[in-house]
Amino acid sequence: MKRQKFIAGNWKMNGGLQANAELLSAIGEGLRAQAPACRVAVAVPMPYLAQVRQLLAGGAIELGAQDVSRHEKGAFTGETSAAMLAEFGVRHCLVGHSERRQYHGEADAVVAAKAQRLLVHGITPIVCVGETLGEREAGQTDAVVARQLGAVLALLGSDAARIAVAYEPVWAIGTGRTATPEQAQQVHAALRAQLAGAQPGAANVPLLYGGSMNAANAADLLAQPDIDGGLIGGAALKAPDFLKIIGSTHDL
């Protein structure tokens, strides 16, 4: 089955009112010149949701967020609920990004609960999984990503068909060191098999690759049969690079 490609930018903790407007104006201009052959989204910092929603209105780019509370509402200072994200038109939300696992102690069960909360509010969780360099070198890559995804699949049951997954090897994030297309494909194929085995309806969920994806290497990665898109960090902050990555889906 041919799955539509999906390119999502993760702005991380970058941006500003003026910078956001300039970036999205340049990306919008590029997309008007050449209609995208893929779905496009940007996951922005919480304070900019309202601004970016307005900037994206009427266009093809979908709004995303980078994190969500696992709780529905209440006394959770500093948290943002899925209901709030939905009110701002958020369509996608990252959960379990490696930076959250690493710096904020997010365990597999927390990631799963966040995914569940998002689905209640009609937002697609983009579940991030990936091994560290040490885990890869110890031959644990498959076991680590299977454990991370497995926790989500176990909690969601048949709703697993409504998620997206991003494979982001930790050693490739922000390092300029990308997984080879073969390395990434291998993990994606294993994730696809795990999804299909857990829930037949989940066999075709979008599987994105992330980790130093850029204008030069995107086409080769995206040409792999089980790589359905990209989750782009640094290169999503530069309009020409992001547009080139989006453009590389035209020939696939």
What are the residue numbers of the active site? 97, 168
The Cα 73–Cα 31 span in angstroms is: 38
Pick the piece of the chain touching ligand 13P (CB under 6 A) from 16-24, 29-37, 187-195, 225-233: 225-233
Nearest distance from residue 170's CB to ligand 13P, in Å? 9
246 binds ligand 13P (CB under 6 A): no
Question: Which residues, at least 6 apart from 177, have a Cβ–Cβ distance to it below 8 Å?
Answer: 171, 211, 212
9-28 binders of ligand 13P (CB under 6 A)? 10
148 binds ligand 13P (CB under 6 A): no
b/e burial code for range 208-240 (CB count within 10 A of at least 16 → b): bbbbbbbbebbbebbebebbbbbbbbbbbbbbe
Task: Choose between 118 and 198: whose C-beta lies nearer to ligand 13P.
Answer: 118
Q: Within 193-222, which residues bind ligand 13P (CB under 6 A)?
A: 210-213
Find the distance separating the first CA and the last CA of the chain, reported in whole Å.
14
Cβ-count burial of 118 within 10 angstroms (0-12 exposed, 13-18 middle, 19+ buried)?
A: buried
Helical (H) or strand (E) element with 51: helix 49-56
104 binds ligand 13P (CB under 6 A): no
Nearer Cβ to ligand 13P (198/237): 237
Buried b / exposed e over 81-93, threshold 16 CB at 10 Å, is bbebbbeebbebb
Beta-bridge partners for 28: none
x/- contact string, 164-183, with ligand 13P (CB under 6 A)?
----x----xx---------
By rule CB under 6 A, what count of residues binds ligand 13P? 14
Conformation bin of residue 165: beta by default, left when phi > 0, alpha when psi is -120 to 50: beta
- Does 130 bind ligand 13P (CB under 6 A)? Our answer is no
Smallest gap, in angstroms, from Cβ of residue 62 to ligand 13P? 16
Between residues 12 and 192, which has the closer beta carbon with respect to ligand 13P?
Answer: 12
Q: What is the number of H-type helices and E-type strands within the chain?
A: 10, 8
Question: Cα(204)–Cα(246) distance, rounded to whole angstroms?
Answer: 21
Interaction pattern, residues 54-93, with ligand 13P; x per rule: CB under 6 A: ----------------------------------------
Residue 234 sits in the site that holds ligand 13P (CB under 6 A): yes
Between 198 and 247, CB nearer to ligand 13P: 247
The contact set with ligand 13P (CB under 6 A) reads 10, 97, 168, 173-174, 210-213, 231-235
